[in-house]
Amino acid sequence: MSPNYMRSFSEGCLRPPTVTGQFHTLFFGSVRIFFLGVLGFAVYGNEALHFSCDPDKREVNLFCYNQFRPITPQVFWALQLVIVLVPGAFFHLYAACKSIKQEDILRKSFYSNFYISSVFLRIILEVVAFWLQIQLFGFKVSAIYMCDMGALEKKSNITRCMVPEHFEKTIFLIAMYTFTVITVVLCVAEIFEISCRRLGFLKTR
């Protein structure tokens, strides 16, 4: 791909054709990614090391931690951010390859419909990620986790495990839910803005 295509692609990703889209990019890129990258590591970075069960043995702690965390929150949220970015990246890659100017996206029906479709897909992916997060992590992290060690000891045995910094993790969970909701609201607002521009209620740049 030529440098001009790469420049158009990067400009499209950083400066979407709508004001709401630009705000979404700012929120997504600065607040959400910074929050996950910096604070997420601080909260979850050493969770596996401090997760302890009774009896406090390495194999017991490892087995119960894997049961407690089938996937670590940092990995889940990182995958969520990457997957949610794919529809918009695909559209802007298409626009760069076709040499479509940003101002033409809202003026031509096919381009605007294509762009709206990418925003709709972004909403769907966010909602699916929201539901998966509920299934995996719930809304609250308890201080005690009851681990079923039947598969490890070949008999029914429930042991108590201490979850480190459970209150901080609960706050972080709520924050990530909130960020997802804000992102969905911004996507809906962007579709509303495009509709208003196409109906003539707002001037297209």
Q: Which position has the higher pLDDT, 153 or 70? A: 70
- The pLDDT tens digits of the residues spanning 97-149 come to 777 777 777 777 788 888 889 899 999 999 999 999 999 988 998 999 998 88
Closest C-alpha among 98, 84, 91, 69 to residue 5: 98
High-pLDDT (> 70) share of the chain, %: 87
- The pLDDT tens digits of the residues spanning 25-34 come to 777 777 777 8
Strands 144-148 and 52-53: unpaired
Q: Is the pLDDT score of 7 beyond 90?
A: no
Domains of the chain and CATH, by start: 19-204 (1.20.1440.80)
Are 143 and 162 in contact, with CB atoms under 8 Å apart? yes
Angle at 189 between CA 191 and CA 84, to 5 degrees: 75
Q: Note the maximum CA span of the chain.
A: 70
How many residues are present in the chain?
Answer: 205
- The pLDDT tens digits of the residues spanning 135-191 come to 998 899 899 999 888 777 656 688 899 998 889 889 989 988 998 898 899 889 988
Q: How many H helices and E strands in the chain?
A: 11, 3
Residues 141, 177: Cα–Cα separation, whole Å: 14
What pLDDT, on the 0 to 100 scale, is given for residue 5? 47
First and final C-alpha spacing in the chain: 28
